Structure 1
């Protein structure tokens, strides 16, 4: 007698009473592994640039490779952060930091890539102490600086000031500026993201979410995205109470 065809229930029900696979957990684990691998790749690229700086600094292909690896690494960090937001396990560990030193550390990480793209950079920061989660803010600034490198013509600047009781940290460039649909002032809802276009603003959603994790009394952080600034290009600002 020929074997019977599997029923719909047979097709969908795992044998042995197994639990359904939590695919979001599988993806999060895979993203974490990819992030670590890309981190090792970026360290190797830095070592290569140090060992063969005269040759590789002028290499367009090498600079593109390092830029794209850095961009994907930042994207994976954001995806993990957004996953933790959805699981309600992402929180801000607030500590005091001297802001000019913190910004110098952020630029130092990108200095080889900035030099490889012939982009001048500087910091215009008041001598302020700020209270924030340095790991979360590093993730936001890594993505923002990397985007600025992509769209800058020749100059990039990090800024910091105090305004209306907020610490305002900014990334400015001399590019064409943000398109009108990306201008933001305040929180960003996940439902507002458009996954049918080439630009989902996922990085801005992550930045806005990180800002909102920083609270002081009834106030919480937010982001501003606009054009202008000292370099007359794109301006990204994160406002922390």
Structure 2
């Protein structure tokens, strides 16, 4: 039984219950209590004896006839003071009693009726009330009949609702599965529904949306690759022309300018490479997961960046229980490399790299003693092309893509990366990774 049916079930049962109570209250207000009508019919024999036999007797025979009825009926008939009877009745029923009507008490299986309105039966008869008890009143069959009617109506409503909601639920589950697969990167998946299905319009709109998103992502991917590859062609021509110029021109005054041109070309090549890497992570984050020694890989990553870290004092602290992890080694080390390069740009002289195994996760922290990152900017530094200080970045290099690539690489492994204020005033990046890439 699904949640959709449960909600409909609760709503229908509540509606039927409210309707039943409202109908009963309305009938009671306008026509009297239905249960009292049933009780009056069941006690009609005793009431008839009182009205047609006892009431027809004269003042001298009234009590004699009442005693005869007491002998032949199973009901217990008593005379009680009027005041006592009024104390047991509601105001509405008190008014009925004072008019001389028969007042039923269904729960007590009894009824009240005044002996005489004017005191003509005997002295004080206008101050006494007939109380008939232990009457043959049984409203249980009526209540059972109403309950059976209630159950039949509920089933007649709930069975079609169950069938209807079940088909809806299966359709919604299919749409949810399609949405999950689409979100996981399977852009070709579409909802398969029949035109007779009630969710067909919704499924069609989801398919149209998926087609549009797929087309936009494909256009973005093609644009990124086209621009990147188109840039490589003029860059290659510039490198070739620069080499020819270097061989042809022996003027020492041109040497600094040619070195600057070579640096610009290298920067453009690096930009194209990072753009392509970022595009791959955006379009396809599938991992090539394998077992590898994390501590050894971190040491190899540090050693490969000695030319970048040569001007800084790097302290590493890897716990001995790191062991092997299952992840995409190349992608994970690319993220660590980007963080190290970023730290090398802004550190004043010292960098700390630590790795620990905690509660089934791998925690890697990288800290520097540089100027740090303001709290208001700590989330935005992971955005592509975002730089805190563009003038400083022109001196240190960079395009604002390194941290974006690092975050996407970590998130592709099911981990997360945050930045905090370090112990020495710089930035502290903390990576939390599961032992098994998700």
- TM-score norm. by structure 2 comes to 0.35
Distance 1:82 1:174, change over 3 A: same
Distance 1:97 1:71, change over 3 A: farther
**Aligned to 2:370, what secondary structure does the other structure show?**
coil
1:170-229, Cα deviation, whole Å (9 max, x unpaired): 2211112122233249xx777xx7699848854333222111211xxxxx2111111124
Q: Distance in 2 between matches of 1:133 and 1:195?
A: 28
- Cα displacement (A) at 1:133: 1.1
Distance 1:176 1:70, change over 3 A: farther
Q: Distance in 2 between matches of 1:172 and 1:201?
A: 19
Name whichever structure is richer in strand by fraction: 1
Name whichever structure is richer in helix by fraction: 2
1:137 aligns with 2:337: no
Q: 1:223·1:237 contact (CA, 8 Å) conserved in 2?
A: yes
Superposition RMSD in Å: 3.9
1:212 aligns with 2:411: yes
Q: Distance in 1 between matches of 2:233 and 2:329?
A: 22
1:29 aligns with 2:259: no
Q: Distance in 1 between matches of 2:232 and 2:266?
A: 15
Matches within 5 A, 1:185-196: none
Q: Distance in 2 between matches of 1:124 and 1:71?
A: 33
- Cα displacement (A) at 1:31: 6.5
1:228 is aligned to 422
Q: Distance in 2 between matches of 1:134 and 1:35?
A: 31
- Cα displacement (A) at 1:105: 0.9
Q: 1:103·1:158 contact (CA, 8 Å) conserved in 2?
A: no
1:54 is aligned to none
Q: 2:284 aligns with which of 74, 89, 105?
A: 89
- Cα displacement (A) at 1:80: 1.5
Q: Distance in 2 between matches of 1:138 and 1:34?
A: 31
Matches within 5 A, 1:1-241: 22-30=222-230, 75-86=271-282, 88-115=283-310, 117=311, 119-127=312-320, 128=322, 129-184=324-379, 198=390, 202-214=401-413, 220-229=414-423, 231-241=424-434
Distance 1:68 1:152, change over 3 A: farther
Q: Distance in 2 between matches of 1:35 and 1:163?
A: 47
Distance 1:162 1:232, change over 3 A: farther
Q: Give the number of aligned pairs.
A: 180
Distance 1:239 1:29, change over 3 A: farther
**Aligned to 1:212, what secondary structure does the other structure show?**
helix
Q: 1:183·1:226 contact (CA, 8 Å) conserved in 2?
A: yes
Q: Distance in 1 between matches of 2:230 and 2:291?
A: 33
Q: 1:123·1:159 contact (CA, 8 Å) conserved in 2?
A: yes
- TM-score norm. by structure 1 comes to 0.60
Q: Distance in 2 between matches of 1:33 and 1:90?
A: 28
